Amino acid sequence: MSLVIEHLFRFGEFTIDKDQRVLLRDGKPLPITPKVFDTLLMLVENHGRIVVKDELMNRIWPESFVGEANLTFNIRQLRKSLGDNARNPRFIETVSRRGYRFIARVDEVSSEPAIDRIDVQSLRPIVPLDRAPLNSPVISGRISERRFLWTALIGGLLLLALLGWRLSAKRNSAAAAKTVPNTPILKIDKLTQTGESRLVAVSPDGKYLAYTRTKYQKTGIWLRQLDNEANVELVPATAPIAGLAFSRNGDALYFVRVEATSVLYCVSLVLRTPVRVLERLEGKFAVSFDDRQIAFVRQRINQDGEREFSLIVAASDGSNERTLLVSTHPDDLSAPVWTPDDAAIICAYGNSDGFGQKVRLVSIRVTDGLKRDLSTESFYNITRVAWLRDNSGLVMSARKQGEINQLWSVSYPDMAIRQLTDDSVSYGDLSLAARSDLTVATQVTRFSDIWTGGARQPQSLKKITSAIGEFSWGPYGRIIYTSTISGKRDLWTMQPNGVDQKQITADGSANGVPAATADNNYVVFVSDRSGLAQIWRMNADGTNQTELTSGLGKYYPAISPDGRWVIYNTTDDWHLWRVSINGGEAKPLTNYVATHAAISPDGKMIACFTRSGSKNELLILPFQGSPPLRRFALKGSVHRIQWAADNTALFYAVDGAILKQSLTGGLPAEIVRFEDDELFDFSFSPDGQSLAVTRGGWEHDVVSIAGLNH
């Protein structure tokens, strides 16, 4: 008898079951995505040799064109699952500019015990027991043979039962898979490769592509004829563009340009002269199916300093505005799209400040503004919504968590939601042709690094390492920063020159926005490990991580110079609160919007950012939180505020520049401006001698997606 032997791959404490497509650690399955599993399997099967990047990408994404960032993301996720380190690898070695090599020993073993073929001729003939004495060698041999046969029989039955169970499991697994709608095979091709195209729209007949190009902070609109790939500039580059959409008949293009206010224009593809339609709207808008109406969201700051959102419909020429719904933050409105009968407008509704998932789809009836929830499933963010060609459902660019938007399908009207992509590149804008199988989207890639150097020569900073978001000067002159090298947002520390990098959070959640006490004992930070973003405290080496707050989301912690108090924002209303470094009951400091708090070196004052009506202001208030002592007008929104060491001035970042505002008044002085990069954060060292910044930008390119539109 011969049996088919299934093989496993073992390395270290890990086992790969190729047929079951499972990765086990000490016998327990690990949750990894199919693409990450494929990446691991190919590396293990080729252990000891370099697998070049193109070979990996062609194996893992055979039907799609994807960027190298997808492979890099898979490797990061794989290293996280294996507990591997890119700098001191145990399993996966990076070979610069070529690919990857699996360096650990791999053993190929059987998944079940093998039973050798039985040689029937070697068995002795069975002699009746009554013909031999009890002490006869024949009796002894017969007993041994019987034991052997019984053992073989029982082993065989057990093995057959095990095989039957595995076959049944496979059949059940296959049957279960059939109950889930198959995800379509998508073919993705890049249509631009400049990194300059943030917005895109495809004409209803699928013949024309409109896309933006941004250079030197000026944005124009280009038109491509897809059958011959001819490109012409439709709208010359001037002010930023915030939204694009073709008319339903395909003769014209609507776009929003941000001038003194946001203005909606309509430009004929023939005449090519933009005509002003209406003003004061957010970038995303929607044209009705009959081309007669436009739905858009208008935002304003009310008298309480809160953002207020209104869903408005108007005639296609901008006349007859009518407000359907008004909501106040955190119930934001965005991404409107008309239903095919033009009877309602579907919008993304809600807000996910504090890392929650509170954005969902709602419909607003046009006749009376009645709002109705369409689905209980919610998201961190919904960027864009568009109808499939047959109007059987919608496609969304949205995300559940993290920073990456994926594509999702939503059936209509039953609202069954499923994920369509699992990429490491985020999807931004989205547009589907109404009369062809063509979908276009923008893919978004973020690049960001920490730069450090002398405070007196801010233009001569040196790039140190990749990092995202906020950072802080930490104990003993080190820098605490956020990195995604582990596949999640984790906190790391290093020397200012990049030496001795160490990871200090590793719990599978998103961690960031660090701040350190002056005595070098503690680091406070924001983490969503308990569900919503909360303020946490840990020792300088990452040990003893303790939650200080609870309830609604918290953000932007700042520590008093004596190390006793943490001031932070609540994300429901962005007021300031204070809590002890040891936790306990929190106390409100403001009853108005006040963010990005910074405490003066003498511990007597707080500087913060606020909105008053349509104005942005820098406030100085007492540490106890009573009404502001001073106000300074601002142009734009700040990213960070930092006090000068002598308490006489404030530094803050706005629109890519670091400015210094004297408390005696006057205009702020520009310290440095980063023309080519977006400034994400900055901080001077405690002694004022060094400056560190995180800076970088975003690359946006247009892709076509085939196989999505029904």
The reported pLDDT for the residue numbered 110 is 58
Task: Give one DSSP letter per residue of 480-505, joined into a string.
Answer: EEEE-TTSS-EEEEE-TTS-S-EE--
Which residues, 6 or more positions from 523, have their beta carbon under 8 angstroms from its beta carbon? 472, 474, 475, 480, 491, 504, 514, 515, 516, 517, 537, 538, 539, 540
The reported pLDDT for the residue numbered 236 is 95
The reported pLDDT for the residue numbered 354 is 52
Average pLDDT (179-204) is: 79
The reported pLDDT for the residue numbered 409 is 92
Assess whether pLDDT exceeds 50 at residue 487: yes
With vertex at residue 117, the alpha carbon angle to CA 115 and CA 123, rounded to the nearest 5 degrees, is 115
Average pLDDT (52-81) is: 76
Average pLDDT (506-512) is: 86
pLDDT digits (tens, 9 = 90+) for 542-592: 999 999 999 877 889 999 999 999 999 988 778 999 999 999 999 999 998
pLDDT digits (tens, 9 = 90+) for 638-688: 879 999 999 999 999 988 899 999 999 999 999 999 877 889 999 999 999
Average pLDDT (280-286) is: 90
List the single range of 15-19, 78-82, 169-173, 321-325 with lowest mean pLDDT: 169-173
pLDDT digits (tens, 9 = 90+) for 691-705: 999 999 888 999 998
504 vs 185, residue with greater confidence: 504
**Can you read off the two tokens belonging to residue 386?**
């568009």
Assess whether pLDDT exceeds 60 at residue 271: yes
Average pLDDT (232-261) is: 94
Assess whether pLDDT exceeds 80 at residue 246: yes
The reported pLDDT for the residue numbered 294 is 97
Assess whether pLDDT exceeds 90 at residue 30: no
Assess whether pLDDT exceeds 70 at residue 164: no
pLDDT digits (tens, 9 = 90+) for 399-447: 886 668 999 999 999 999 998 887 768 899 999 998 888 899 999 988 8
Q: What share of the chain is helix, strand, coil (3-state, %, to 5)?
A: 15, 45, 45
pLDDT digits (tens, 9 = 90+) for 225-245: 998 888 999 999 999 999 999
| Residue 451: count of CB within 10 angstroms of its CB | 21
d(CA 364, CA 25): 50
Assess whether pLDDT exceeds 50 at residue 16: yes
Mean pLDDT, rounded, of the chain: 84
d(CA 404, CA 406): 6
**654 close to 639: Cβ distance less than 8 angstroms:** yes
List the single range of 152-156, 309-313, 458-462, 561-565 with lowest mean pLDDT: 152-156
82 vs 354, residue with greater confidence: 82
Domains of the chain listed by start with CATH number: 7-178 (1.10.10.10), 187-437 (2.120.10.30), 446-699 (2.120.10.30)
Assess whether pLDDT exceeds 90 at residue 517: yes
pLDDT bucket at 175, cuts 50 / 70 / 90: very low
The reported pLDDT for the residue numbered 638 is 82
Note every long-range contact of 527-532, with CB atoms under 8 Å and residues 24 or more positions apart, other chains counting: 528/354, 528/355, 531/356, 532/354, 532/355, 532/356
Average pLDDT (382-401) is: 92
The reported pLDDT for the residue numbered 710 is 57
